[in-house]
Amino acid sequence: MTDSRFYRREGPFSLAQLAEISGGSLSDATMAGRMITDVAPLYRAAADDISFLDNRKYVQAFEACGAGACVVHPELAEMAPAGMGLIVTLEPYRAYAMIAHAFYPQSRTVADVSSHAVIDPTAKIGPGCRIEAGAVIAAGVEVGARCHIGANAVLREGVVMGDDCTIGSNATISYAILGNKVWIHAGAAIGQDGFGFAMGPKGHLKVPQLGRVIIQDDVEIGANTTIDRGAGPDTVIGEGCRIDNLVQIGHNVELGRGCVLVAQVGVSGSTRFADFVVAGGQSGITGHLKIGAGARIGAQSGVMRDVPAGQTVIGSPAVPAKEHWRQIGMLERLAKKHGA
């Protein structure tokens, strides 16, 4: 049961409704009318809750689960306890997400511009926006419809955003053009100067940073993440990217569509990701590289060379996954043999 301090629930829904919502199929039609009032994790779901099984680590919890219903992959369906309603689908996590959205729809932005926000008279604010106390919106900014600007967020001179964007509290956005449905979490810093200077023994000379940050539609950017603007070219975040907390994106970086960057990743300047690249937590990618479509970079890896499309690389320096595990295995064996 969610905490009513923070969440408001819709429903209840019948299992038939939830099967339709999720695109899964109900394994036992006689249960179509069973009413479900909430979503819950396996370990605490009760008779009127629906849960989901997506990770084999939790099969035991599934077998012991008291949920009235569960979303599950066909291969694991037979391990369900007796009496549990089953919505079967090849993508249980996605199906669960759709059900959870039904119970907890994203609350529509309630139009409300706080009298404690500071909005420059030259800024244009679209209809239906919520702008909270302490937000500062500078000259020439353009905000689309139904955007939500959190308390103490700062939109600096000239920033543009489309419709349905959310900017978290204490975030700072500058030199940036955002599409629609961009969600930037608390404390993120977008658009500041890249790390550009000519090094020299008598001191480092700053190089003017003259580009922007372009963020395409439907992008999520995590808390306290930093994205530098381009040095001349732009820094570009492609449509549908998901960027976690505390990630660093250097100047001129281009991410294709649907890339996923887990927390604390660092991408150095001018590197390009094609579409749907996944970078594991704390991995680092050197500057001026090309990472091919669908490539996967293991957590903590250090990528120093281009990565072909579809390849998985791991290690620091990163090598193809198979090679990495062979090195690790050999190291273990040798250490056992040669060890004192």
**Interface residue with its own copies, options 150, 179, 238, 256 (CB under 8 A):** 150
Rounded to a whole number of angstroms, the minimum distance from the CB of residue 160 to its own copies is 7
- Looking at the Cβ atoms of 108 and 206, the one nearer to its own copies is 206
Residue closer to its own copies (CB basis): 33 or 41: 41
Minimum CB–partner distance for residue 200 and its own copies (Å) = 6
- Footprint (CB under 8 A) of its own copies, residues 258-277: 258, 260, 262-264, 266, 268, 276
Within the chain, residue ranges assigned H as helices are 15-22, 59-63, 92-103, 321-338
C-alpha dihedral over 286, 292, 295, 299, to 10 degrees? Answer: 10
Map the footprint of its own copies across residues 283-302, applying CB under 8 A. Answer: 284, 286, 288, 299-300, 302
Q: Candidates 34, 146, 148, 156: give the one binding its own copies (CB under 8 A).
A: 156
Nearest to its own copies of 67, 147 (CB atom): 67
CB of 263 to its own copies, least distance (A): 4
Footprint of its own copies on 113-142 (CB under 8 A) = 114, 116, 118, 132-134, 136, 138, 140
By the 10 Å C-beta count (0-12 exposed, 13-18 middle, 19+ buried), 298 is classed as buried
Residue type, 128: G
Min separation Cβ 30 and its own copies, Å: 28
Q: E strands along 253-308, which residues?
A: 254-255, 260-261, 266-267, 272-273, 278-279, 284-285, 290-291, 296-297, 302-303
d(C-alpha 113, C-alpha 131), whole Å: 5
Single residue of 11, 85, 168, 256 touching its own copies by CB under 8 A: 168
| Contacts within 8 Å (CB) and 24+ apart, 67-76 | 67/40, 67/42, 68/34, 68/36, 69/15, 69/18, 69/31, 69/34, 69/36, 70/42, 70/45, 71/22, 71/24, 71/95, 71/96, 71/99
Report, in Å, the least distance between residue 158 CB and its own copies: 4
Residue 52: burial class (beta carbons within 10 Å; 0-12, 13-18, 19+): buried
Half-sphere exposure at residue 155, Cβ-oriented, CA atoms within 13 angstroms: 35
Would you name the residues annotated as active-site residues?
Answer: 251
Q: Which of 108, 124, 305, 326 binds its own copies (CB under 8 A)?
A: 326
Pick between residue 80 and residue 241 the one whose CB is nearest to its own copies.
241
Does 101 engage in binding with its own copies (CB under 8 A)?
A: yes
Here the tokens at position 199 are 């090094």
Residue 30 or 57: the one with the smaller Cβ distance to its own copies is: 57
Closer residue to its own copies, CB minimum distance, 83 or 93: 93
| CA 93/CA 18 separation, integer angstroms | 14
Options 16, 61, 113, 210; binder of its own copies; rule CB under 8 A? 210
Which one, 32 or 294, has the nearer CB to its own copies?
294
CA distance 20 to 26: 9
As measured in angstroms, the least distance from the Cβ of 333 to its own copies is 8
How far apart are alpha carbons 162 and 173 in whole angstroms? Answer: 14
Range 215-234, binding its own copies (CB under 8 A): 218, 220, 222-224, 226, 228, 232-233
